[in-house]
Amino acid sequence: MSSTSAAPRGRIAPSPTGALHLGNLRTFALAWLSLRSRGGTVVLRIEDLDGPRVKPRAAAQLISDLRWLGFDWEEGPDVGGARGPYVQTERRALYAAALDHLRALGTVYPCVCSRREIEAALSAPNGPADEGARYPGTCAGRYADEAVARAAAGGREIAWRFRAPHEELQWQDLVRGLSAHDVQAGVGDFVVWRGDCAYQLAVVVDDAAMAIDEVLRGDDLFTSTARQLLLYRALGLRAPRFAHVPLVVGSDGRRLAKRHGDTRIARYREAGIAPERLIGWVAETCGFAPTGAELSLRDLLPRFALEAVPRERVVLDEREHESWFR
């Protein structure tokens, strides 16, 4: 990765909807190493807006697991910082102000369509998994104002959708190189608010407010980048540099989940497996160390090179993984 004159600011942003697992570890380790190898600042942010899926005490467990693995950070919910709070549910006033700004610009509009209605109206293929079917623009220009939309919704919660232009956005991804995506062709006008702030708007507001200039995350969020770039532009905010690293997947090629076995970091801790063994596994999958190495995160700093990380997704061998516990 090319260097910059100023030390970078980046973030690790787990969601307390489940336990930290091997896949999270690999992505977070690469984000931490990318920053620390250049004297950068690490921010920890808890992304807990997905209310129904948030698990009690999960945030505390995430922080404990990260500390056990050797991660550290300058700013976060447990250490404070000048750009807090560092928990999304404590930042709702900022998101509401951003939505008001977008409404004043006319770049969002109220939508009363349910997901079922959208899918029923379409025969086109689905967009990315996080959005479901591409939105056909049913409510664009449909209601004169919010009050009319709420009356039409009949008590249902309305959504606010961003008007995505017919435009192929381009950006320089730090892993993939020159990248491009057409949001309108992919998901159409996308939701920025439905009862609470949606992921796309929240992370843009937070990363800008926390002066984040480097976002390294899993490649499952690659197409989200174009949506976020549209929001940065509309809000007059400076976008960070993005890097999308390959995920860890199961033998079926799908993102790690319970069906692939128990890969929770807490399980390794309970079994007495040293954190250095897990970091060694990360190093092995990234080409930084041979199989079986036991290393700390700081041991990897002189070995780190983002350009050396394989571009293929890592396939976890479930049977080999279970042998760790025998």
pLDDT tens digits along 149-206: 989 888 888 999 999 999 999 999 999 999 999 999 999 999 999 999 999 999 999 9
Domain 92-201 maps to which CATH number in 3.30.497.10, 3.20.20.70, 3.40.50.2300, 3.90.800.10? 3.90.800.10
In the predicted structure, residue 258 carries a pLDDT above the cut 80: no
| Bridge partners (DSSP) listed for residue 215 | 242
Q: What is the pLDDT of residue 157?
A: 87
Digit-coded pLDDT (tens) for 216-233: 999 999 999 999 999 999
Query: What are the boundaries of each domain within the chain?
Result: 92-201, 248-326
Digit-coded pLDDT (tens) for 40-87: 999 999 999 988 889 989 999 999 999 999 999 999 999 999 999 999
Answer for the pair 304, 34: CB distance below 8 angstroms, yes or no.
Answer: yes
Q: What is the pLDDT of residue 155?
A: 80
Q: What's the pTM? A: 0.92
In the predicted structure, residue 128 carries a pLDDT above the cut 90: no
Higher pLDDT, 298 or 256: 298
Digit-coded pLDDT (tens) for 76-126: 999 999 999 999 999 999 999 999 999 999 999 999 997 776 766 554 333
Catalytic residue at 258? yes
Q: What is the pLDDT of residue 183?
A: 97
In the DSSP assignment, the letter for residue 7 is P
Candidates 156, 258, 298, 311; catalytic one: 258
Q: Tell me the pLDDT of the chain averaged across its residues.
A: 91
What type of residue sits at position 138? T
CATH number of 248-326: 1.10.1160
Q: What is the pLDDT of residue 129?
A: 44
248-326 has the same fold as 92-201:
no
